[in-house]
Amino acid sequence: MKNPVTIDNKRVTVSGRFLKTARLEAEYYEWIENAEEFIDKLKSSGIRADVFTFLPEIGDRKQRHDFRCELDSIAVLPITNYENWWKNQINDKTRNMVRKAQKTGVEFRGVSFNDDLVRGIMEIYNESPIRQGKPFKHYRKDFETIKATHITFLDQSEFVGAFYKSELIGFIKLVHGPKVSSLMQIISKIGHRDKAPTNALIAKAVEICGQRGVSYLHYGIWGRGGGLGDFKKHHAFERFDLPRYSVPLTAKGKLMLGLNLHRNASEYLPEKCLTFLLNLRRRWTLFRYRNQKVAMGQ
């Protein structure tokens, strides 16, 4: 990330080498109220970026601007209430996984954000240098870095921990908005995967959203090339296509948008090719860490 600036209390970061793209640092958790005014402020801020890209609030899928627009796919679970999700939206296999956590003695409860929770999170993060077939970005980060990572949106957040014999084996961080709650983080210890804590944490998140009258639960991007896609589908998450707007800030940005060369290289690859490359990366990562104690999982 390069040359971050803050506009209207929203942090904007820049990424990319040849084409520098600016976006809200927390674009899936905060939104722009007046796009034209925000872009004018961004241009006058001196930020070194060629293109600015942004999304509307999750749940608003109508195109409301004349800027360059493409679809951005995210995973969203429509919610009426917990009972409907349990009876009608998931299958027996998923229900059995949720029950498994309860039968094996895993307890779920709300937790305060404090140093004890941060230390518990660090233990989960330091379990393995690899998750989902790639190096885990939070592995062996120091206490203050992990604390700073999770202290964001604290006034809108709710933490739920999964405990087995008083040990924190998983947690979720829910960020609540007016219509949508987002799973900003959900992770469990791979060593306790047999107890299905992640499945039960999803169920707990749905229960909380139902109690709050939230219409949608957001869980990251929809993704391509496998990964968590099946896991999300089994818990009734659906593909939501949001309009992603792109605005040129420089002549280079205007040219690249005109040539349709503003996206990440992976977005131009066919699905089969992307899946092949991801599997290749997974094998390389396993080979790279072959001399370490590595657990694979979510």
Same domain, 108 and 195: yes
- 46 CB contacts (<8 Å, ≥6 apart)? 5
Whether 16 is covered by a domain: the verdict is yes
CATH code, domain carrying 124: 3.40.630.30
Same domain, 107 and 65: no
The residue type of 246 is S
Output the CA–CA distances (angstroms, integers) from residue 9 to 6, 22, 68, in the order listed: 6, 16, 25
Examine residue 282 and state whether it is found in any structural domain, yes or no: no
pTM of the model: 0.87
Element (H, E) at 243: strand 238-248
202 and 88 together in one domain = yes
CA 262, chain centre distance (Å): 22
Q: For the chain, what percent of residues have pLDDT higher than 90?
A: 76
- 188 is in which domain, residue-wise? 80-214
**Does 26 or 178 have the greater pLDDT score?**
26
Co-location of 202 and 258 in the same domain = no
- pLDDT above 80 (res 263): no
CA distance 292 to 159: 31
The position carrying tokens 């991007």 is: 221
What phi and psi, each to the nearest 5 degrees, are found at residue 52? -115, 130
Share of the chain above pLDDT 70, in %: 91
Q: Write down the H helix ranges in the chain.
A: 35-44, 82-84, 92-103, 115-125, 143-150, 197-212, 229-234, 251-258, 271-288
Structure tokens at 117: 């929770």
- Taking only the tens place, the pLDDT of each residue in 187-206 is 999 999 999 999 999 999 99
| Boundary (domain end) residue, out of 194, 214, 234 | 214
Residue 191's alpha-carbon distances to 61, 118, 162, 293, 294, in angstroms, are: 39, 19, 13, 12, 11
At residue 113, the 3 state secondary structure works out as coil
User: What pLDDT shows up at residue 296?
Assistant: 43
Instruction: Count other Cβ atoms within 10 Å, centred on residue 4.
Output: 12
Is the domain of 110 the same as that of 130?
A: yes
- What digits encode the pLDDT tens for the residues 107-135? 999 999 999 999 999 999 999 998 877 89
